[in-house]
Amino acid sequence: MEFKYVPSTCPYCGNGCGINLVVKDGQFAGISPWQRNPVNEGKVCIRGNKSFEFVNSPNRLTTPLIKKDGKFVEASWEDAYKEIASAFKAVKGDAIGVVASARNSNEDSFVLKNFAANVLKTANIDYCGRRCNADAVKGLADAFGAGATTNSLADLETAQAILVVGSNPLEENPLAGRRIIIAKQKGAKIIVADARKTPTARLADIHIACNPGTGVAVVNGIISAIIKAGKENKDFIAKKTSNFDKAKAAVASSTPEAVAKIAGIDAALITQAAEIFAAAQPAAVVTSAGAGSGDLIRALANLQLVTGNVGKAGAGVNLLRGKSNAQGAADVGAVPGENGLAVPAMIDAAAAGRIKALYVVGENIASAGAHVTDALGKLDFLVVQDLFLTETAAKANVVLPSASFAERDGTVTNAERRVQRIRKAIEPVGTSKADWQIICDIAKAMGHEKDFVFKDAEAIFNEIAKAVPAYAGINYAKLEKPEAIQWPAAGGVFGTAFLYADKFSTKDGKAAFAAVEYKAGEAAGAEFPFMVAAQWPMGTLSMNSASIVREWPYPVVAINKEDAHAQGIINGDAVKVSGKAGSVVLAAKVTAEIKQGVVSMPAGFAAAAVKLEKVTEEA
């Protein structure tokens, strides 16, 4: 019997927790704590702890599949490449789209970007996670100069106050949530704005149970109250920022009383939150890329600039990410080129017949709804590269089996800009290959042999370090230690724990305030009386992990107990949830931990207001 421990990085959320893969007789047998890793210090949530389950799933794709007469048949790699090369050569650049993944490695996304630009001749490349990340990342870039989280996750422990808006870290990013727990134990005051009494909200000293979509109003109210009390950091604002007067004017009408009416809360909560936050040094804000609209991010940036809480430990805007390499995919350029289409626009173009072919690497875009499935059905050619036969793969002409994170080498960059290694621990299942290898093989089949010759993943990373300024000086040897390196790397000698200690990355070196005003979204009304607070949905990896499925066997809609009683709904009932975009049937979770007039359901159902109908057996 042979055991070995291979240090790697968890493939789930953007925390980038360090884990040791336990290999027994050549098989991925489990996870062992990696105590020295600074991200999680050996602690792992259920997803990372059970990551060996999806790797070992019997549902893994093991050989290429080609669809013939409506059915998939197993094929050789050579035949699959010929089929793909022939189809891609027949499509002009602007009629083809490429979808990358925020859970693939930096090396995969870098090679895919170059494949799109130099082989397919298309600017239509995007990673699916940007659908919920793009506005948030742009907001950070516009405010501070770089589209990235400003601080390290460990900094949260040192904050004296933490405001959480649009995020539920204890469930969504548990090891970031752990840092908030430690901060509270050290005396920090926690403020949480959420319509639900989530595990994170239960930590709060102040829980602002605001209506969904009113986070901007709440943050503006806190800023307004701080300015009115004369507690803004005048010296910081004068020396390090611009446009303060515009931001001040934009929040002037956001009095606690005005915000209370918008958000459905007690006005005193806004005043109390402002007093706590203004008095705390340092103070941090935490939000999620999935919930963080551009306006919310700019409002949070304004709050941190008003209080001088940028450019030091324990402060900043902490943007949590849903997938392991959401930051890295953007860093290495898996984003639309000039005049290129983002993922939603590619779907619309496919539905309209302008996009003829699509190459999807590691994403299940069909899970977003029937409109995506319908659009995929109108394509002339679809290639999907993944671990499993997802809903998207089922629509494909050719499906290619990817190697898992445990079966290949590479790097990923977590939410705090930490570039970390993933390391090959076992051999790939069947004939599956690393995504970058498959992309290179397709390029060669299309006549681009010389441009896509890489000895290994390390050779690709060396090219990334040359092409991406923030990665300059980083190499695999410098990533061997568990601390790895947070970009910018300062020539690879050390990383940067928090940004903007000296100046901001804007042209003038100053942070830019923004005039952010609350814009009301779709409101509940007679037809759709309930507002929706989004839950984090389960994805491809989780659904192929038996332990996770046992804990969360099916999606639910959380309903306030009073609302449920009025609707004749009891816990476990099948409920049809309908909005303007369509309907879905979910199991009811009747609870007191959500405010009346609000329901909570997986984020994949794009609706702001809905109605509920109990599904009867007769129906």
Question: pLDDT tens across 346-361, in order?
Answer: 999 999 999 999 999 9
Fold classification of 530-614 (topology level): Barwin-like endoglucanases (2.40.40)
Confidence check: pLDDT of 130 > 60: no
Q: Which range, of 54-58, 239-243, 446-450, 461-465, averages the lowest pLDDT?
A: 446-450
The predicted pLDDT at position 70 comes to: 93
Per residue in 273-322, pLDDT (tens digit) is: 999 999 999 999 999 876 556 899 999 999 999 999 999 999 999 999 98
Per residue in 6-39, pLDDT (tens digit) is: 999 999 999 999 999 999 999 999 999 999 999 9
Q: Contact at 8 Å (CB) between 180 and 200?
A: yes
Q: Contact at 8 Å (CB) between 11 and 319?
A: no
Confidence check: pLDDT of 112 > 70: yes
The vertex-176 CA angle with 172 and 180, nearest 5°, equals 115
Per residue in 573-584, pLDDT (tens digit) is: 999 998 887 888
Confidence of residue 607 (pLDDT cuts 50, 70, 90): low
The predicted pLDDT at position 490 comes to: 77
Q: Which range, of 15-19, 125-129, 421-425, 448-452, averages the lowest pLDDT?
A: 125-129
* Beta-sheet strands, E only, within 85-124: 96-100
Cα–Cα dist 14/180, whole Å:
16
Range 217-224 average pLDDT? 97
Pick the CATH number of 132-320 from 3.40.1160.10, 3.40.50.720, 3.40.228.10, 3.40.710.10: 3.40.228.10
The domain spans of the chain are 3-55, 65-129+325-406+423-446, 132-320, 530-614
Phi, psi values for residue 100, rounded to 5°: -90, -175
Using alpha carbons, list the distances in angstroms from residue 592 to 134, 189, 197, 597, 609. Answer: 34, 24, 8, 12, 20
Q: Which range, of 129-143, 158-172, 329-343, 390-404, averages the lowest pLDDT?
A: 129-143
Between residues 403 and 549, which one has the greater pLDDT? 403
The predicted pLDDT at position 133 comes to: 67
The predicted pLDDT at position 129 comes to: 61
Q: What is the CA radius of gyration of the chain?
A: 24
Q: Which range, of 313-317, 376-380, 439-443, 580-584, averages the lowest pLDDT?
A: 580-584
Q: Which residues of 385-401 are buried (b: 16+ CB within 10 A; e: fewer)?
A: bbbbbbbbbebbbbbbb
DSSP 309: -
Q: Contact at 8 Å (CB) between 46 and 10?
A: no
Phi, psi values for residue 277, rounded to 5°: -70, -40
Q: Which range, of 99-103, 192-196, 285-289, averages the lowest pLDDT?
A: 285-289
Confidence check: pLDDT of 618 > 70: no
The predicted pLDDT at position 363 comes to: 93
The set of residues, in sequence order, having a beta carbon less than 8 Å from that of 302 and lying 6+ positions away, is 143, 219, 223, 247, 251, 513, 514, 516
Pick the CATH number of 3-55 from 2.60.120.1140, 2.20.25.90, 2.40.10.500, 3.40.50.720: 2.20.25.90
Range 139-145 average pLDDT? 93
The set of residues, in sequence order, having a beta carbon less than 8 Å from that of 10 and lying 6+ positions away, is 16, 17, 18, 19, 44, 47, 48, 51, 324
Average pLDDT, the chain: 93
Among residues 411, 406, 408, which one has the least CA distance to residue 485?
Answer: 411
The predicted pLDDT at position 332 comes to: 96
**Reported CATH class of domain 65-129+325-406+423-446:** alpha beta
Cα–Cα dist 124/13, whole Å:
26
The predicted pLDDT at position 619 comes to: 46
Confidence of residue 135 (pLDDT cuts 50, 70, 90): confident
> Which two tokens mark 564?
């449920």
